[in-house]
């Protein structure tokens, strides 16, 4: 009984087999078929490797929505070196709400030497090269997002030459928390003092001959500080051509949520335009000498998410590659054999054309002779 049940099961499975079975006696091998098979297998292997590389890679997805957060504070990360002594300069923020944020709330004034060491110059050149490439190839920003926290920090390394040169510059670094409204972060002559209608800087005791707003922006960012992220002004260096010179940076800040397989952070991207001019009241160029960064907050928020191809999609694409190549090569091979048979058949017919045979009555016959021997009747 068990054997009968097994036979019935096997017969049932054979009846369910929907794949056609061609007897081996019907299969004809050929050199052309083997060549096409070799080409098909090579193409399948190559495309499979390429598809696996695509499966391993990730891409960044950008989504836009309205920023509904109006109450939180905005963090500004600053690392700027000015070619003036620390007692001569002051930094602070004044926003549209007439709220003043003094540098004492989070910034450090550090006397340094303005000239860089060879190691520091190498890092600055690297940052400037990356900035130029980012302006030409915007897709490199995705690579920077994915490599956040893995690449080195953009902060200049400390000096190692133990120079005896006295400090001639001031490094202003740290962070400030400001309102999420448009504002103006500036570095100018004199320390900031409170004022009923805003604020002022005590610059009367500083000689105009000591004005020198040549500066280097080692780092400037908004939001959470993420090592490895390169911002548009990192590595910027400006040399003043006059004592009374104003440098202006107009910045548009875009809130950004970054979600990758490595990190999840809330930061800010920004774009910037630059302008510099010499203050000359006699020529109509009015203003105050210094470095002014006027920023505005965008009402849109960008969510950047790193995505990966699902495994099931990889399998579907892989099956499509294998089946498509087999079907295509089979069709091309069959069409090629059909064309070749037509050409060879015509060639054979042309080589076996009949010759004219004279008849006794003077007529000719174009039919092939019935025999191939040379005997006459």
Domain locations in the chain? 31-59+308-329, 73-183+192-243
Please say whether the beta carbons of 222 and 268 come within 8 A. yes
Q: What percent of the chain has pLDDT over 70?
A: 76
Cα-to-chain-centroid distance, residue 3: 66
Mean pLDDT in residue range 285-303: 90
So what's the pLDDT on residue 368?
47
- Confidence check: pLDDT of 124 > 60: yes
Residue 75's beta-bridge partner residues?
177
**Is 270 exposed, middle or buried (CB count within 10 Å of its CB: 0-12, 13-18, 19+)?**
buried
* DSSP state at residue 153: P
15-41 residue pLDDT tens: 666 666 666 655 666 677 778 778 888
* DSSP state at residue 253: E
Q: Return mean pLDDT, the chain.
A: 79
**Is 290 exposed, middle or buried (CB count within 10 Å of its CB: 0-12, 13-18, 19+)?**
buried
Single out the residue of 241, 283, 265, 242 nearest to residue 149, CA to CA.
265
26 phi/psi in degrees, rounded to 5: -90, -10
137-149 residue pLDDT tens: 766 777 777 766 6
- Confidence check: pLDDT of 375 > 50: no
Residues near 374 by beta carbon (within 8 Å), at least 6 away in sequence: none
Mean pLDDT in residue range 178-205: 79
Mean pLDDT in residue range 9-20: 67
Mean pLDDT in residue range 362-368: 50
**Helix, strand, coil percentages, rounded to 5, for the chain:** 35, 35, 35
So what's the pLDDT on residue 105?
74
Instruction: Specify the range with the lowest mean pLDDT, choosing from 169-183, 243-257, 284-298, 338-352.
Output: 338-352
Comparing 302 with 57, the larger pLDDT belongs to 302
Cα-to-chain-centroid distance, residue 128: 18
Confidence class of residue 377 from pLDDT cuts 50, 70 and 90?
very low
- Confidence check: pLDDT of 232 > 60: yes
């Amino acid at each position: 009984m068990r054997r009968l049940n097994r036979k019935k099961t096997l017969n049932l499975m054979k009846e369910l087999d929907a794949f056609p079975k061609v007897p081996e006696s019907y299969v004809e091998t050929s050199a052309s078929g083997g060549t096409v098979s070799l080409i098909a297998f090579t193409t399948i292997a190559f495309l499979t490797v390429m598809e696996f590389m695509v499966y391993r890679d990730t891409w960044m997805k950008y989504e836009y929505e309205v920023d509904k957060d109006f109450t939180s504070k905005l963090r500004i990360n600053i690392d700027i070196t000015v070619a003036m002594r620390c007692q001569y300069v002051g930094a602070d923020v004044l926003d549209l709400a007439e709220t003043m944020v003094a540098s004492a709330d989070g910034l450090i004034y550090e006397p340094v030497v303005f000239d860089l060491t060879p190691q520091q110059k190498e890092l600055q050149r690297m940052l400037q090269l990356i900035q130029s490439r980012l302006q030409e190839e915007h897709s490199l920003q995705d690579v920077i997002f994915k490599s956040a926290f893995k690449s080195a920090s953009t902060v200049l390394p400390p000096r190692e030459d133990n120079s005896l040169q006295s400090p001639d510059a001031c490094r202003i670094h740290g962070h400030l928390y400001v309102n999420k409204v448009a504002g103006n972060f500036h570095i100018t002559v004199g320390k900031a003092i409170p004022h009923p209608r805003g604020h002022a800087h005590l610059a009367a005791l500083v000689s105009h001959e000591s004005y020198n707003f040549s500066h280097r922006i080692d780092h400037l960012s908004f939001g959470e500080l993420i090592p490895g992220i390169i911002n548009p002004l990192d590595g910027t260096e400006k040399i003043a051509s006059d004592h009374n010179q104003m440098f202006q940076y107009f910045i548009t800040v875009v809130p950004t949520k970054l979600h990758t397989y490595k990190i999840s952070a809330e930061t800010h991207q920004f774009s910037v335009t630059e302008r510099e001019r010499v203050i000359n009241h006699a020529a109509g160029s009015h203003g105050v000498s210094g470095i002014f960064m006027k920023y505005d907050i965008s009402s849109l928020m960008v969510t950047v998410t790193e995505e990966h191809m699902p495994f099931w999609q990889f399998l579907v694409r892989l099956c499509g590659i294998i089946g498509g190549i087999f079907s295509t090569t089979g069709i091309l091979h069959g069409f090629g054999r059909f064309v070749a048979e037509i050409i060879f058949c015509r060639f054979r017919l042309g080589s076996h054309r009949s010759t004219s045979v004279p008849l006794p009555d003077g007529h000719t016959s174009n039919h092939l002779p019935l025999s191939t021997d040379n005997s006459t009747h």
